[in-house]
Amino acid sequence: MNILVTGSAGFVGQNLIESLKNIQQNRDRTRPKLKIDTIFEYDIKTNPALLDDYCKSADFVFNLAGVNRPENNDEFMAGNFGFASTLLNTLRKYKNNCPVMLSSSIQATLLGRYAESDYGKSKLAGEELFFEYGKETGAKILVYRFPNLFGKWCRPNYNSAVATFCNNYANDLPIQVNDPKVELELLYIDDLLEEMLDALEDKEHHCEFDGVDTVAKEDGRYCYAPVTHKATLGEIVDLLESFKNQPETLVIPEIPNNSFVKKLYSTYLSYLPKEKVKFPLKMNCDERGSFTELLKTVNCGQFSVNISKPGIIKGEHWHHTKWEFFIVVSGHGLIQERKIGVDENGQPYPVRNYEVSGDKIEAIHMLPGYTHNIINLSDTENLVTVMWANEQFDPKHPDTFYEKVEKE
């Protein structure tokens, strides 16, 4: 299959091109039935003469070309309608009736705040041009009215508030929110790409529109990406504030699978400047080694790393409710645990011994109600242990009580 992507240097175009290349080069094997031969990339800087060759050979066309922020409004119609005419006329020239996808906008509804949108009018004109072309030639036409798009490589200060907010928070620039209650419907780039690849496999989703709302319909005139999210500007700003503060708080917010928070966090990270990709952690050091908190989560505890110098014993305490995993990743050590209290004979419970090594990485439970320690058995090598606790450390309620494992 030969695929033509117009607007290939734009936000969606870049992401689509890289996804197609991954499939073409067998780096992405999630769509084994999809075979891609040649990817034709066409953008504003491409030699116009190449459009003939591309339109002659294409088996599928993604028309992502368009104008979003022109110097004057007349350019909307020239960029969004004029090039569409050129593209379709070139396909006609070679009698190429392959499927054609059009990137339109919800603004083409010309409803509500979009009623006087010159951009929306140019998009609507482009839609009708494509539908007429489909009737004339029998070519399959897939018209998508996109809501607000966001994701990596989206240009800030252009046509995405999310991109602008992410860029400005990442680079310590001011943002302006006139009404935090304004709600946006948001489409993440990876969800859009899934739909575009579905379209390549003849599995696109169809819909009609009830005002600006998408209504799924198998024989609908339009197409749509089924996974979108709704969030207010205030919610977006609050999340970005927490992302920005993460190097100080160490707290990773809840990021459930396929959630808006997960996608927004990935988008935010893509705007970090070089100097913010790395940040220091507070190492608590003494003559025994060090202890460093790595990451904290809202509801799933925290991660730390402990370094013990040769011959050092650490721990010797127990918890009522807190429990932990100790995972030795380097060195040779011994973890000991003993149940608090005495058995039915009035004797201390036996000590449980677990020899551990970075050569065989294992996870050891630190059980509630068991005092425990970790001993570096090496005379020369540090013992490095990754630790996970089921709750963040609370200095007001530490749930940590000293008691040696080995009774004297």
Instruction: Report the catalytic residues.
Output: 119
- Please name the residue that has the structure tokens 């790395």: 278
Q: Which residues contact 40 (CB under 8 A, 6 or more apart)?
A: 2, 3, 4, 5, 50, 53, 54, 57, 58
Cα gap 249→242, rounded to integer Å: 9
φ/ψ of residue 164, rounded to 5: -65, -45
Longest dimension (CA), the chain: 96
Q: What's the sign of the alpha-carbon dihedral 18, 22, 23, 24?
A: positive
**CA of 392: how far to CAs of 293, 304, 395, 399, in Å?**
10, 10, 10, 11
CA distance 215 to 221: 11
Query: Judging by beta carbons within 10 Å of its beta carbon (0-12, 13-18, 19+), is residue 285 exposed, middle or buried?
Result: exposed
CA distance 297 to 193: 30
| DSSP conformational letter for 236 | H
- Asked if 301 and 390 touch (Cβ cutoff 8 Å), the reply is yes
Please give the Cα distance from 168 to 271 (Å, whole number): 9
Please provide residue 239's backbone torsions phi and psi, each rounded to the nearest 5 degrees: -65, -45
Neighbours of 398 (CB within 10 A): 11
CB atoms within 10 A of CB 146: 19
Q: What is the per-residue DSSP string for 288-312?
A: TEEEEEEEEESSS-EEEEEEE-TT-
Q: What does the alpha-carbon distance between residue 222 and residue 407 come to, in Å, rounded to a whole number?
A: 75
Query: Listing from the earlier edge strand, what are the strands of the sheet with 2-6?
Result: 38-42, 2-6, 60-63, 100-105, 141-146, 222-223, 206-210, 213-216
